[in-house]
Amino acid sequence: NSEVGHNTLGGGRVFVQGAKLVQSALQDGSIFKNPHWQKLVDIGKVKTLHFLGLLSDGNVHSHERHLHQMLEQAAKEGAQRVRVHILLDGRDVSEKSAEVYVERLEKLITQLNSQKNCDIKIASGGGRMHITMDRYEADWPMVKRGWDNHVLGRGLQVKSASEALSVFRANSNQSDQYVSEFVVCEAGRPVGLIEDGDGVVFFNFRGDRAIEISKAFTAGDEFVKFDRERVPQVFFAGMMQYDGDEKIPAYFLVDPPQIRDTLSEFMIEHKVRQFACSETQKFGHVTYFWNGNYSGYLDKRYETYLEIPSDNISFDLKPWMKAYEITEATISALISGKYDFLRINYANGDMVGHTGNLSAATTAVSIVDLMLGRLIEACRKTNTILVVTADHGNCDEMLQPPEKGVKSEDWSQFSLASKYAVKTAHSRAEVPFIVYGADTIKRLQPGGLAQVANTILELVQLSGRKLYEPSLLV
């Protein structure tokens, strides 16, 4: 995913990341020895223990397996009243697969209630791109809809999550990520409002789309992003600490990776002047993630960050996004002569790819191609070396294989009228690595993202670091 990709690009080596850290903690049981977990279970014995997060096996922000294991352990340890608030995916998994994950969760809940004599219910939910999971403060109203849903019990009143999906399917052709918020009710009352004294676990492990809802739960009167109306005093814990610099949240179940000695830090030591730019949707990737999950500037004397605000619309409605503005800003920075190393991210391929709209994705790729052409001209005029790569694929695979056993290279034999499934998730394809304007390079050796850092150091004529994976240049 993008978090892992940019950590690796900026860190020069491979780090054990969220999904693997969480799975290891669950396998060896260390997560359940965490004092914060013990406090949450104790709360569930007298009040209500809530689990909130993305319900899928995409393993980009979360994994249903982690939720299932925590529910089983909480019931085993005696938690009596547990409520689950689910965010539906359709982005890192098939676009209309929510029924599979909901059915598995409902089956587990039925088993635990029967075997452990506890009271576990799904309480609320909605699509991940409609409620709760905003990032980089691009759309606080999305977070407010989530707050109103999970905390205040606002949304379509249904008897179960399965019923909510049935209603949505009957009235919309959109993917799971846009499911309208719903509230499970009994006798006309929500079954799982979040109240004073409750415990809340946000079980996503990835940070970017977890920070804002965490702030809403943990911030005091200084919180002004939206009117929370009622702020229950809860014990809130993240699966991980999503921002180590701002300590968000203060309590968490699994320690995050420690990423230090990044490329940016090394360049600052050598007084390399850096420029980082993207639109809101990817700004944190060329700053926060690139710098080893470090918020803010490392050293303003040698860094300039430029964020171009993204539009708050579905990206397939405007697939060119802010590619033009990013290009203009970068060309200006190149011409200025103020910088030695510039890094930018075009968000089009990823964000439009996630919509599943093939026509829009084609436009998105065409726009990026056009902008790269302009960058090439600017690099030629300013004697700049251009490196083009990506952190993962997306637009390169917009359809699932139309039938079992068909290889991707054989898809061309099928027309779009054939039976196929839209693909909204990242692809597993290798990404390109293109170097333009460095005449001394004879060839590039095959490699991975961890080798980009030393490659860049060689291109800016700094000696490589043994700490990093070797350069790709031959």
Angstrom distance (rounded) from CA 162 to CA 105: 11
The number of CA neighbours under 13 Å toward the Cβ of 26 is 21
Catalytic residue (one of 2, 94, 175, 278): 2
Helix axes 211-218, 140-150, angle to 10 degrees: 60
CB count within 10 Å of CB 85 equals 26
Angstrom distance (rounded) from CA 53 to CA 56: 9
Alpha-carbon torsion (198, 19, 91, 344), positive or negative: positive
Burial class (CB in 10 A: 0-12, 13-18, 19+), 358: middle
According to DSSP, the residues that pair with 431 across neighbouring strands are none
Q: 313: helix, coil or strand?
A: coil
Q: Which residues contact 6 (CB under 8 A, 6 or more apart)?
A: 285, 286, 289, 290, 391
DSSP-derived letter for residue 317 is: G
Judging by DSSP bridges, how do beta strands 182-186 and 189-190 pair with one another? antiparallel
In the chain, DSSP finds a helix count (H) and a strand count (E) of 14, 16
Concerning whether 471 is annotated as a catalytic residue, the answer is: no
What distances in angstroms separate CA 23 from CA 13, 28, 30, 94, 105, one per listed residue?
A: 21, 9, 10, 23, 18
Angstrom distance (rounded) from CA 245 to CA 296: 9
Residues marked active site are found at 2
